[in-house]
Amino acid sequence: MNCHDETCVTCSDEAVPVTVVRLLEADLALVDTGRGREVVSVALVETEPGDTILVHAKEAIAVVREVRQ
């Protein structure tokens, strides 16, 4: 694993927003990190392609929903 920036989807101490590109088998998803693509677990969230999710340690922990006023 090569982390080149201060924030890494895999080893960061904070959740990183990424975009779901494609859902895969076994509760996994291919995501766009803005610097490349990675496979993460989406077992804890309900998501679909195009959603922005927060990922910590390769695990999606939340789906970012648009706030309507």
Query: What is the domain extent for residue 58?
Result: 16-64
Is residue 38 in some structural domain?
A: yes
Q: Position of tokens 């960061």?
A: 12
Is residue 60 in some structural domain?
A: yes
Is residue 25 in some structural domain?
A: yes
Is residue 11 in some structural domain?
A: no
Check residues 57 and 21 and name the one with the higher pLDDT. 21
Q: How many folded domains does the chain comprise?
A: 1
Q: What is the pTM for the complete model shown?
A: 0.78
Is residue 42 in some structural domain?
A: yes
Is residue 48 in some structural domain?
A: yes
End-to-end CA distance of the chain: 41
Judged on CB neighbours under 10 Å (0-12, 13-18, 19+), 56 is middle
**40-63 average pLDDT score:** 96
- Four-residue CA torsion sign, 47, 49, 52, 54: positive
The CATH number of the domain where 48 resides is what?
A: 2.30.30.140
Which has the closest alpha carbon to 17: 4, 34, 37, 36? 34
